[in-house]
Chain A
């Protein structure tokens, strides 16, 4: 039986944080947006990380299936990536002129990503999804953007909804929302907005929160691609979350189509802060015309880290490793659930699996099970997809399944 964790240091530090930081910990790493239910089951602050593990400030070790919400793809503190970053840091990072390592990184992305003829760098996923939308509007001279319901493309006002605090109607008035996998709806909005749609933006598959993840139905992306081409509309793939986990050449390549613009971040440099927008040659001049930059966007260390990360992902055939490990974990978790008498649904790609106990529509049972897993050292979350990293071992998977079983037993005992 595994130790059941408590978090006195986390809780006291959180109180300290609330005095000087809005919400204590804001955003997806925080207890509200992160859906820490109940909050006592979750660590609130990390101390250090290595490989597939994170340790919290109460000294507990977790097998981490959130991977910092995606950036950790090779394993925390990967020695090859860290060594490349260290060497570049000794030479220079944030300088008046960019390092030529930026060119090296762009060349590597162009050689690696199927739909990339160029690369533009920023820091966060939101930077490049916003740039992609700006570029689409600049290129087409049109206003409207089509989204698939359940999307997440960042936090800029255009990505939010009309009822979110701080958002005004004008921020979202040109947004059109259609159901995922519904090409008829897309045909309809093209017909109703002829000559007005600048871009269709979508994640490679629907990994929305609070719902089972949905892969594209056969022919979906090909139909979307054709409709965009026929209507002179750009197709933007937001590969920030799934990028390099499905296919080193990009998730559009995995699903058999070509994006006009594709956005990367998370797994791009194994935790070093860089994002990239890649695209087709015909958009290069448009990108050049945009006024878009940032203080740290051309820092050299993340570029060096990104080069090392991509080269190692290629060498390992990382997507296949993640698929194999994710499939093994999914199979074992579902087997454990059946043995414990629970209906565990594991959806999405195995390398970015989403969990839901379907025995209870309200999800309260699911939340209890997730909480019991976390308390015993497996960092799952209730309502977000998870991430596999390449350093995860068979022993880690076996320990995860043991803990999942203990958590099932604990939940069962309280039913």
Chain B
């Protein structure tokens, strides 16, 4: 197998659902859906990840663990959890039945909106505001997926083992930027990009980033044209790029 279910579960939880907090920061439509509702949904995956999405005050945070939540969704395996994300499995909560309307209502609308941003139609992408939000969210998903693959996927772990300690900045000129901390072969997304980083890879603009994400242009050729720039500890970038190849495999 070129991919494994447990790694995909980590990507689905921390990468995909992990995009909801950012979506609520940058999408007016998402803010409108959430309104003033408050709820925390815990996802507990046997032999996989556990995390909680907490909604309150028009915002959302993702934190590790699923013990302190108002609605708890247990999954018997990574495959079951992955089924939730691709729409083939309906979760049954073990607690928080009074919050089911939030789960089935606003939360479902938020995940539908996230899907719209992450798998956009060409018509939607013609709207510059939509395209900006979509590309920003996709960039965040990819960054977090890199970390999960580096930490859990067997081949991704080999790539991560070659990454020297430090902070890798991935960014778009005049646009969003993300940072990955590499420490002892483990990768973690940082909440903010620090001023001093060890290496950086920067895309010329949103369109370039999007075209790369969609596989329409080649990253190596884009370095030659200056559409993609790298600096610093290039071996970090080189190995992150190897993991990026696997991101496409998992998110396809």
A residues near B (Cβ < 8 Å) are 14-15, 18, 22-26, 30-33, 35-40, 44, 161-165, 209-210, 361-364, 367, 382-383
Contacts and interface: CB of A to CB of B under 8 A. Distances in A.
24 contacts: A18-B221, A18-B225, A22-B221, A23-B220, A24-B221, A24-B224, A30-B224, A32-B219, A35-B230, A35-B234, A36-B223, A39-B225, A39-B229, A40-B226, A163-B155, A163-B159, A163-B242, A163-B246, A165-B245, A361-B166, A361-B233, A362-B166, A362-B233, A363-B233
B231 interface: yes
A22 B218 CA distance: 9
Given A24-B225, A44-B224, 8 more contacts: A18-B221, A24-B221, A32-B223, A39-B225, A39-B226, A163-B155, A362-B197, A362-B232
Interface of B: 155-156, 158-159, 162, 166, 196-199, 218-221, 223-226, 229-235, 239, 242-243, 245-246
Contacts of A44: 224
Nearest to B243: A163
A31 B232 CA distance: 15
Given A23-B221, A38-B226, A161-B158, A364 B242 contact: no
A161 B233 CA distance: 19
Contacts of B230: 35, 37
A50 to B, nearest CB: 27
A34 to B, nearest CB: 10
A161 B232 CA distance: 23
A9 to B, nearest CB: 14
Contacts of A165: 242, 245
Contacts of A37: 229-231, 234
Given A163-B155, A163-B158, A163-B159, A364 B224 contact: no
* Interface pairs A-B: 3 shortest CB-CB: A32-B223, A31-B224, A362-B232
B224 A25 contact: yes
Contacts of B199: 362
Contacts of B196: 362
Contacts of A30: 220, 224
Given A31-B223, A163-B156, A364 B218 contact: no
Contact of A32 (B159, B220, B239, B246): B220
B152 to A, nearest CB: 14
B179 to A, nearest CB: 13
Contact of B232 (A18, A36, A364): A364
Given A165-B245, A210-B233, A361 B198 contact: yes
Given A38-B226, A163-B158, A164-B242, A364 B231 contact: yes
Nearest to A211: B235
A32 B155 CA distance: 23
B225 A15 contact: yes
A382 B129 CA distance: 39
A32 B246 CA distance: 20
B147 to A, nearest CB: 15
A37 B230 CA distance: 7
A31 B166 CA distance: 24
A209 B233 CA distance: 11
Contacts of A23: 218, 220-221, 224
Contacts of A33: 220
Contacts of B155: 162-163
A30 B226 CA distance: 13
A32 B224 CA distance: 7
A362 B198 contact: yes
A194 B232 CA distance: 42
Contacts of A362: 166, 196-199, 232-233
Contacts of A14: 224-225
Contacts of A22: 218, 221
A210 B218 contact: no
Contacts of A364: 231-232
Contacts of B219: 32
Contacts of A40: 226
Contact of B224 (A18, A163, A164, A210): A18
B3 to A, nearest CB: 14
B60 to A, nearest CB: 34
A31 B223 CA distance: 7
A14 B222 CA distance: 11
Contacts of B224: 14, 18, 23-25, 30-32, 36, 39, 44
Contacts of B223: 31-32, 36, 39
Contacts of A361: 166, 198, 233
A40 B229 CA distance: 11
A18 B162 CA distance: 30
Contacts of B162: 161
Contacts of B197: 362
